[in-house]
Structure 1
Amino acid sequence: MEKETKRLIESRPAPDSTSAPLFHDSSQSPTAKRLQYAFVGIVVIMVLISIGLSIYRGAVTGVNNGLYFMLGISLIGFVVIEIFLIRFIRNEDLPKEKSWFLYFVGACVILEAIFTNVLLFDEN
């Protein structure tokens, strides 16, 4: 028994220094993962502000109520696309190397949120 255990221990390869750590995804470092969470958090905050303002503006003004609500709903449509992208990357249906597209769509959502806020409070 001891001889067999000793043989198994000796035949086991030495740990490789290039192997990925066990505590995080091999394709992302902890810093990259934190930056991704921060970016998604910023997108969520911008979208919530814009949707809240569109509901407020639609409820307060009597003119073009539907237009203000539609601005918020169109923003939700882009967020759904962003959520699908996150799920595709997490389920590995989309390669991790294509995660730049997640940031591109997120930047487009942020721009649309800014433009929505500008249109919501245009006085003309």
Structure 2
Amino acid sequence: MADDKTSLVAGNKKDLEGGIYYEQTPATRCLQVGFVALVVIMVIISIILSMVRGTDLGTYGGGHFMLGISLIGFVVLEICMIVFIRRGDLPKEKTWFLYFVGGCVILEAIFTDILLFQ
């Protein structure tokens, strides 16, 4: 006899509403893809800049490189949340938290860029 935890761990497909990809309107899907693209562009720019500034042998070379590494950590968290929502482990009503974390990643990327060029 399966309990509630079994379907969460095993990923029972008939318990998911709407399959792996829950139903979205085209406008919602476009908004989500655009937001993820914006986050990816901001992160790539920040990582490249932190690597360039981190290779300088100045006072803060290693610290600038670590800013890019910490940004990658937040992106991994964001990717895990996307996977959990897509698999159905998190309810689709909690998608707002995905946008919140993405907004925080964008803010960190902006702050990282500002700090790199002070």
Pairing 1:87–2:54 present:
no
Structure number with greater CO (CA < 8 Å, separation at least 6) is 2
| Unpaired segments ≥5 residues, structure 2 | 1-20
Q: Structure 2 CA distance, aligned partners of 1:109 and 1:61? A: 27
Equivalent AA in structure 1 for residue 38 of structure 2: I
Sequence identity of aligned pairs in percent?
Answer: 64
Corresponding residue of 1:59: 55
Corresponding residue of 2:96: 100
| Unpaired segments ≥5 residues, structure 1 | 1-23
Corresponding residue of 1:120: 116
Match 2:66 to one of 66, 70, 83: 70
Higher-Rg structure is 1
Question: Pairwise CA RMSD of aligned residues?
Answer: 1.2
TM-score, length-scaled by structure 1: 0.76
Equivalent AA in structure 2 for residue 98 of structure 1: K
Runs (4 or more) in structure 1 with deviation over 4 Å come to none
Task: Give runs of aligned pairs for residues 3-42 of structure 1, distance below 5 A.
Answer: 25-26=22-23, 28-42=24-38
* Matched residue SS, 1:60: coil
